[in-house]
Amino acid sequence: MRKGYAELRVWFFIAPFFLWISLFAYDGVYADYKKDLTLPTPDVQHVTIENHAFTPQTITISVNTTVTWVNKDDMKHTVTSETGLFSSDGIPPGGTYDYQFKTAGVYKYHCKYHEQMIATVVVQ
């Protein structure tokens, strides 16, 4: 048997090992890469506007959570902060309004059109 052929046979057995090692290493590098690319996704919570009420009437969320109000009534409502911090325009039936709460606190709000519609967002 010629020497060159023997070496080729050795590589035939060794090469898959190197391939396996390199794939393993790549997987580790790629996992780190993916981890770096993954930004924290902002949390979103929903409040439903239905039957002239906000549900839940008090929602407790963590800082940086966005609240999306969904109007399921057949008339316009607003989401209006007691302090003027945020205020939607009239949200039409089927419409939504988003607000992101970046500071801990207790935020009372109401609907401009219907005084009895009051609710609270607690940010902690």
Which residues contact Cu ion (rule: CB under 5 A)?
A: 77, 111, 113-114, 117
Distance CA 107, CA 29 (A): 45
Q: Which is nearer to Cu ion, 28 or 92 (CB)?
A: 92
For residues 107 and 120, is the Cβ–Cβ distance under 8 A?
A: yes
CB of 77 to Cu ion, least distance (A): 3
Task: Identify the helix (H) or strand (E) that includes residue 66.
Answer: strand 65-71
Task: Count other Cβ atoms within 10 Å, centred on residue 78.
Answer: 20
How far is the C-alpha of 105 from the C-alpha of 87, rounded, in Å?
Answer: 17
**Minimum gap (Å) between residue 118 Cβ and Cu ion:** 11
Closer to Cu ion at the Cβ: 65 or 119? 119
Min. distance of Cβ 36 from Cu ion in angstroms? 45
Which is closer to Cu ion, CB of 77 or CB of 99? 77
